[in-house]
Structure 1
Amino acid sequence: MERTERFAASPSEERRYRLLVDAITDYAIYMLDPDGVIVSWNAGAQRFKGYTEPEILGEHFSRFFTEPDRDAGLPQKALATAAAEGRFETEGWRVRKDGTRFWANAVIDPIRLSTGELVGYAKITRDLSERRAAEEALRQSEEQFRLLVNGVTDYAIFMLDPEGRVTNWNSGAQRIKGYRPDEIVGQHFSRFYTPEDRQRGEPQRGLTTALVEGRFETEGWRVRKDGTRFCAHVVIERITSDAGVVIGFAKITRDVTERAEAQRALDEANEALVQSQKMEAIGQLTGGIAHDFNNLLTAVLGSLELARKRVADDPAVLGLIDNALKGVERGASLTQRMLAFARRQDLEPRPVDLRELVEGMSAFLQRSLGPQVTITARFPERLAPVQADPVQLETALLNLFVNARDAMDASGEIVVEAGEEIVTDAVTDLPPGRYVRLAVIDTGEGMDEATLARAAEPFFTTKGIGKGTGLGLSMVHGLVRQSGGRLVIKSRKGIGSTVELWLPQSLDVPPVVAPEPEVTRPPAAMGPMVILAVDDDGLVLMNTAAMLEDLGHTALEAFSGNEALALLRAGQRVDLVITDHAMPHMTGSQLAEAIRAEWPGIPIVLATGYAELPPGGDRSLQKLAKPFGMRELEAAVAEAMAGAPRMPVQPHATAGGEAAGNGR
């Protein structure tokens, strides 16, 4: 707006204007003549330009401009614009008297007479240096923040508008999610979610939570541009203006797939450790129970056999005793399976060709499983032998095949396959080395996760009452672990099961199996003998002594190793010692060592409720496995006195007595 000079103003009015202008110190207010020469100067101009009125009046206003601006003719352009357009306004650097610069907002208005004649210009300048410095600091801060955010590559940091559309995109977001800024800005952030999460409304739930609570945090699967998934840690923060209006959301996403995988591996390792410790504890408990149970069965078996001889003329009583003896046999079979799970069975490992083993028992397997079950074998042309006990391995396979048949309701196909495997340090439950994986695969009902977790536990079964003992898979587990391998069970409900036996490869070549020679019974001992029976269990000791007396021998009894040594040192004649192994204070092996030191000519038989001696047992001694009856006791005595090889006398009932017990 042009200003028109009032020449008719009174002197007092002019004085008041002058006082008003001079009182303003935040603005430089002064006049220029039509050529730009300064003709007035207020206190504000003097304050931030530095010139006194006498120093500056009559000078051209261009001296306040920087040299580059003067060279560019900016002062003249400013006056020309003001004259032509009625106003000129700009911001730029100006120069003080001392040569320092300040950032100024300058306004130039033309002054005209009522006739339109241009008589000069009114110039108002304001020092905006502080505001300029603040704006520059803010700009630099924003630029630094932008560079910082864009320089972060481990986090996807971007903004969303209130509806959830992406408004900016940093390099971390591009690296993690695969989209360039021009591909994703303007798109809805829900495209990063999986289809199932979008269907459940997860994107909107995140925005709603952040809108209401100010923050939303979660972890879940997200989708990259190429369709691959990654595990993400996500934070959504609400952003509001100074007036409290929601203007959008800040979203930070971090790829935590490696951490999630590491945590999963740690959880699996911990679970495997807990499971291993649980199975080890169960194994120790089971082995101890089997030992004690064998002692009880020994007493029952011997007493029943003695009773049977004394009531030979009563058929009714004989039937009852024979029925009880069958119960003892079943009990002995159970204890053998319990000992197998506890890894306390006596194994005779040797190189075994799995192809030959399976082919050799295929006819027996087919008869056992029935005509509705098809057996398919898949073996490579060359397969390394394994180091295992072939008899126990056959029993384990029979258990697995019976389990598979029962899972398929007695009809379907069972596949047995094998392959060589190399285990590295990455597998924690097996020593590094070469193994053979033998798998039995069925298409039966399968197991859910809860059943699968307990499948190898002893006495756990999903079969009906009387249809399984729950010791089948536990026996297989014990056999494989004792052989230096591992049992792996894979199953899904409604799909079927795969049971894998990982067995160590043998470094030897499997021997050619010759026909087994006919086993002849050792000759009976000549004449009655004095036999010392040692056992801390009174029932077993009484029963053993009674059977020895019935065989025609003189039986001496001792309840401990020290009592047996005291009897021998007293000069008592003893032809043979039969001692229990697991006794307090002095084990049977320790007693045998003491006897051999003082009486090296006395034969010793070690009786034990374990199929394999616990640590510290003397494996060079002839062994008599509990439970034993008259026949086993007589054979052990005869063999000991005849100087036969130190071979263990087999228990009254073997582990093969029942093959169908399982953990399914």
Structure 2
Amino acid sequence: MPNTSANQTFLQGGGEMGALMRAHDWAATPLGPTDHWPQSLRSMVSACLNSPLLGTILWGPELRMLYNDAYIPSLADRHPAALGRPVADVWGQAWDMVAPAFHHAMRTGEGFAQNKVELPMVRNGQAEITYWNFSAAPIRGEDGSIVGLLNQGIEFTGQVIAEQQRLAAKQQLRDMNEQLAHEVAIRTEERNLMWDTSPDLMVVIDFEGVIHRVNPAWTELLGYAAAELIGHHVNEFIVEEDHGSTVDAYLATARGSQVRIANCYRHKDGTQHWISWVAAPAGVMTYATGRDITEEKTRQAQLESTHEQLRQAQKMEAVGQLTGGLAHDFNNLLAGISVSLEMIETRISQGRLRDIAKYLSVAEGATKRAAALTHRLLAFSRRQTLAPKPTNAAALVNSMLDMIQRTVGPSITVESIPAPDLWPALVDPSQLENALLNLCLNARDALMGGGCIVIEMGNCEIDADRARQQDVPQGQYLAMHVTDNGTGMAPEVLAKVFDPFFTTKPMGEGTGLGLSMIYGFAQQSGGQVRIASQLGAGTTVSLYLPRYDGEASFDPTVTGAASVAAAQRGETVLVVEDEPAIRLLVADLLQDLGYRAIEVADGNAGLEVLQSGVHLDLLITDVGLPGGMNGMQLANAGRLSRPTLRVLFITGYAADALPHRLETGMAVLTKPFSIASLAEQIRGLIG
């Protein structure tokens, strides 16, 4: 039963242990009830309970333990069962190691103190080594005999472990430093060995390009002794054209960058060596290693020369193919024209004038086909004369649908699908019509007499990644897709479709310039064309045309014969043309139309007329003129003194002489042209 004695004032305070002792059933222990405890025990227990130092009273012959709160952590899992039990039962083997000193104190009354005592213990199920400073003082009873011991101490196991760890870390650091010093010594030795034996050039230069150290390879590779290099600027040994890149390189290392560079060094004997360098900063110096790549450069140059020869051979093969195709087609066309003219001459001499009309028709047809062929060639070479303008592609396609449908035949369905809010395109509308018609004709041939052609239009934003993939400038485009569900193309055919004169049609059917013309037109317009096809699954040709940022309208082109507009007031036209036949025909045509014509053969003569006081209503000039002044330059010079001068350029091949957009009051007419188209252009400019 718990001790119920009220005489427990000596147990007041003491924290956890004071409460445990007050509640403990001491009557059931050999110590008996607390009110029977001698005063000496009461006094020592009271002092121990309220001491901040680790302490325990070892009482009686069995040295039973009465301890304070400071002693609890050392007991660990032995608390609270240790209270009132013999110390030998509580500590077991650890007590056996220190017991002799305690027993000696009990016998003799001589206290003792021991420091840095190492004790193995098992606490919380874990074996450990503990470290203590402790002491024992005898307790005398009322009769003066020794009845117990006051055991006080300090456990400093944590401090010992911390010190051991510190010493271990210190030793580890010492070992690491020794290992590092050893490795540095080895690396230094290796670097020195590499410096002395490496076949590569090694150099240390400052951030102003002055050489401070070189390895022996400089002498072996470039012929210079170290004394001839140290203290000199690196550019003294480099060919002049590489000076700038070399300076940029060591300045970059001064900013902390690693640099790769190849430059050309002069050997002491005057020969040249290409060196590939890797350079990096180290403190206030640049360290660089260079490898001789002269042989690689020579091999590369030889390889590039071989590739260039191959490219030239391929170009010549293409030129041969081009000229062969041209010769075939133009010979056919010239034969139609020349034979028709001979037959006309024969029929006139025979008086058979009725037959002249059919020969004229043949000659005119051949002339138109020749003009179409040259236009396709110029489009293929991206040299045709374009007149780009803001174009509503949906309206353009809509105006052509009936004509396309009649051309492809009733067994093929033609459908137009424009996207809502379709952007206008900046493009030559007549050339776009021509390209679209060619694509629909190709689709018709692939449909083998029946199927569907879909013309789909939409807005397209091409970002940087897609621009690289499709070889087109980044930006906004109108995309026009012409899709058929026809036979499609095999990969080997698809790879050649843009080649000039390549055709899958039988001999004599088609020129093979349709898709190459469309490719050239798209490129010259600042766009691109792409084709996707699969054998048996149809074909899609996609035209990407630059967006026009604004509004655009479209007036359908009026085809067929136009009425010839005659002169209104006998206007005067200056004709500048170096080809006598064309100059004669244009002048005669002008006179037939009621205009007064002034004819000159070159730009200088034309400029004299323009700078004179003669009245002029219009300048008609070829673009390519002899004498060093082309038609565009002549027109610009004429407008200096005649700011409102109207100009009509006639050309068969303008190359780059004409700007992408003509100024107000200027127009262009490509050769060959009809009387009606010339008259219409003249009337439009003068009117």
Q: Whose Rg is larger?
A: 2
TM-score (norm: length of structure 2): 0.42
**TM-score by structure 1 length?**
0.43
Structure with bigger RCO (C-alpha 8 Å, 6+ apart): 1
